[in-house]
Amino acid sequence: MIYPSVKIDLEKLRNNTNRIVNLCKEKDIEVMGITKGICAFLPAVRAIIGGGAKKLGDSRIKNIKMMRKEGIGLPIYLIRCPMLSEIKEVVDLADGSLNSELEVIKALSYEALAEGKKHKVILMVDVGDLREGVMPEDALDITEEILKLPAIEFEGIGTNTGCFGGVKPTYRNTKILADLANCIEKKYSIELKTISGGNSDTLNLLKESELPPRVNQLRIGEAILLGTRVNKFPELQFYRDSFVLEAEIIEVKMKPSRPIGEIACDAFGKVPVFEDKGLMRRAIAAIGRQDCIIEGLSPLKDLIEIIGSSSDHLILDVTKSKDINVGSKVRFRLSYSALITLMNSNYVTKNYS
């Protein structure tokens, strides 16, 4: 085995997906399985499909290209609004995309027309999180323009909350989307196939039947991958350890808890502060900030504490863990930010079973 390594339990991943798909099915909601958090790592993508996801979404066209090359035939959507410079690949590789700029949608139509294709568009509406999306009051006008485009299938509208602005999804802000859907349908005498209501956070609205009835799709990444953010469903017991990091210990020594000498800046330009706890048993694991957002690691053994990190080293307090020695492997549960960085790192191997 080559370390550091992310261990993936495909059965747990398949299980998490299945629980979410079933939860949504009860309310006639389709799940778009979001693969960006794992760089569309193929065995994991197949587990998500095995768990019942019938549609996939990724933010990177490169990941979509790889999935197509490997023979994934499900509908795949580009969920980050396309760059003008990638229009051709988007039309070639994705069934549809989430969009917020008319100029881009026109370019998609132009390209799709040239290729004799139709490209599906979900218009993103900003209900307050202030990331992507048109403002609700502008949605009707832009719809009118989209409907004029010959090679665009205007599939529906969507929104995203809880990402940039930290705005929580609620019945109220999600209903802006649902009301807008009714309004668009009435004004232009069309039927919107998809009302894409949000991400993992929005699943919680299903608990108290707080999801406005028109919403019929959710785009789920984190809840499938890590079983987190679905706080309102403790009874579903999602697996939180489908992905675990294993790192190897390269040094164990008794050292003081406070650095010796005059303190200036650390390797990342910060002035560190350390509490004096006397001598401690310290271990170094061979993993660092080039590989992982270290703040997102939680040791699976309670007795181990993370003290800090540099580009290549993770410093641990193992005073209460006498069995940790040079060569030992320590295991960590991952947050979403730790997962995405680890999956992206060339230095971290990915192993699955």
Ligand X SMILES: *Cc1c(COP(=O)(O)O)cnc(C)c1O
CB closer to ligand X, 199 vs 204: 199
CB 176 → ligand X: shortest distance, Å? 17
Give me the residue label for tokens 């959507």: 77
Binding segment for ligand X among 20-28, 34-42, 133-141, 242-250 (CB under 6 A)? 34-42
Q: Is 208 exposed, middle or buried (0-12, 13-18, 19+ CB in 10 A)?
A: exposed
CB closer to ligand X, 36 vs 329: 36
DSSP lists the bridge partners of residue 33 as: 56, 220
CB 224 → ligand X: shortest distance, Å? 8
Q: Among 109, 199, 217, 345, which residue sits at the site for ligand X (rule: CB under 6 A)?
A: 199
Cα dihedral 339/228/36/87 (nearest 10): -150
CB closer to ligand X, 15 vs 59: 59
CB closer to ligand X, 94 vs 223: 223
Rounded to 10 deg, the angle between the 61-69 and 42-50 helix axes is 80
Q: Which residue's C-beta sits nearest to ligand X?
A: 221
Binding segment for ligand X among 18-26, 101-109, 218-226, 292-300 (CB under 6 A)? 218-226
Query: 3-state SS string over 12-26?
Result: HHHHHHHHHHHHHHC
Q: Among 160, 194, 217, 319, which residue sits at the site for ligand X (rule: CB under 6 A)?
A: 160
Site string for ligand X, 259-288 (x = CB under 6 A): ------------------------------
Binding of residue 16 to ligand X (CB under 6 A): no
CB 125 → ligand X: shortest distance, Å? 12
Binding segment for ligand X among 166-174, 213-221, 257-265, 304-312 (CB under 6 A)? 213-221
Q: For residues 112 and 104, what is the distance between their CA atoms, to the nearest angstrom?
A: 12
CB closer to ligand X, 90 vs 304: 90
Q: Among 108, 146, 211, 220, which residue sits at the site for ligand X (rule: CB under 6 A)?
A: 220
CB 123 → ligand X: shortest distance, Å? 13
Q: For residues 234 and 333, what is the distance between their CA atoms, to the nearest angstrom?
A: 18
**Active-site amino acid positions:** 36
Residues 6+ apart with CB under 8 A from 220: 20, 31, 32, 33, 34, 199, 200, 203
CB 301 → ligand X: shortest distance, Å? 27
Q: Among 33, 51, 212, 221, which residue sits at the site for ligand X (rule: CB under 6 A)?
A: 221
CB closer to ligand X, 58 vs 248: 58
Task: Tell which positions 57-116 bind ligand X, by CB under 6 A.
Answer: 59, 79, 98
Size of the site for ligand X (CB under 6 A): 14
Binding segment for ligand X among 68-76, 181-189, 219-227, 271-279 (CB under 6 A)? 219-227
CB closer to ligand X, 184 vs 226: 226
> Encoding tokens for residue 299?
């040791």
Strands 297-299 and 96-99: unpaired
Q: State the residues that interact with ligand X by CB under 6 A.
A: 34, 36-37, 59, 79, 98, 160, 199-200, 219-223
